[in-house]
Amino acid sequence: MSTNQSICQARASVMVYDDTSKKWVPIKPGQQGFSRINIYHNTASNTFRVVGVKLQDQQVVINYSIVKGLKYNQATQTFHQWRDARQVYGLNFASKEEATTFSNAMLFALNVLSAQDGGVVSPLCITHSLCTQTGSLPVPR
């Protein structure tokens, strides 16, 4: 029996912020278009991953481990972003409803991870911390 369970599924374009050009670009060159984005919960280890698979050719475009303290920002109703030490990632969702589904799952995962050490994270804190910490990045057009 698999211990990985999908806690959400949405369609989005996966992007990264290019510091050189100051623009959002596809995460992999030539990989424009929508991917199926899932957040998986490994119930055995209580960990979470964002996994994106291109709808067109089934190539994995993102396989990202969600860590405690990740800064997640809902920049617009359909564009959300987060960062780690090396990169800023963005998801440009197909609809507001899919963006909401994803953000609810991401906030759930971050709250579970935070609570593992007895802490509690407010969703309001998560959604605004990236912009207040790093300055607002432009939203892709």
CATH 3.20.20.80: does it fit domain 4-134? no
pLDDT in tens, 4-17: 999 999 999 999 99
Segment 114-122 mean pLDDT: 66
Nearest-angstrom CA–CA distance, 43 and 47: 7
Model pLDDT, residue 139: 61
Per the model's pLDDT, the better-predicted residue between 110 and 129 turns out to be: 110
Residue 141 reports pLDDT greater than 60: no
pLDDT in tens, 52-84: 999 999 999 999 999 998 999 999 999 999 998
Percent of the chain with pLDDT over 90: 72
Cβ atoms 77, 71 nearer than 8 A: no
Which pLDDT band holds residue 85 (cuts at 50, 70, 90)? Answer: confident
pTM of the predicted protein model: 0.81
Residue 40 reports pLDDT greater than 60: yes
Per the model's pLDDT, the better-predicted residue between 129 and 121 turns out to be: 121
Q: What average pLDDT is seen over the chain? A: 86
Which pLDDT band holds residue 132 (cuts at 50, 70, 90)? Answer: very low
At residue 84, φ and ψ (nearest 5 deg) are: -125, -165
